Amino acid sequence: MRAGPPSVRLRLTLWCAGAVAVILLIFAIGTYLFTRERLFAQVSAELRGDAAAVRELVEHDPGELGELEEHGVVGLFRVELRNKRFP
């Protein structure tokens, strides 16, 4: 039993399904990249703000570094005194 060429209806259905799949794939990739970029930008901005707060505190009042941890403002930084400039 030999199968003949696919019918026009089957070919059009496959073409439409393929086109929809490609469009959905492009949309999904675009959404992923946009969301990823926005998330990284937001995290970077927050980290820059936290680093600025730590830098400001270390430069002006290093005795108050414990305050940052108490208030939960900065949880991902560790400040080490490498010279004897700060008491």
Confidence of residue 2 (pLDDT cuts 50, 70, 90): low
The confidence score (pLDDT) of residue 84 equals 54
pTM assigned to the model = 0.60
Token pair 């393929």: residue = 18
Please write the tens of the pLDDT for every residue from 9-46: 999 999 999 999 999 999 999 999 999 999 999 999 98
Spatial separation of the C-alpha atoms in residues 87 and 82, rounded to whole Å: 12
Q: What would the pLDDT profile of 40-87 be if each residue is shown by its tens digit?
A: 999 999 888 877 877 887 788 767 766 766 666 666 666 666 665 544
Place of tokens 């414990």: 66
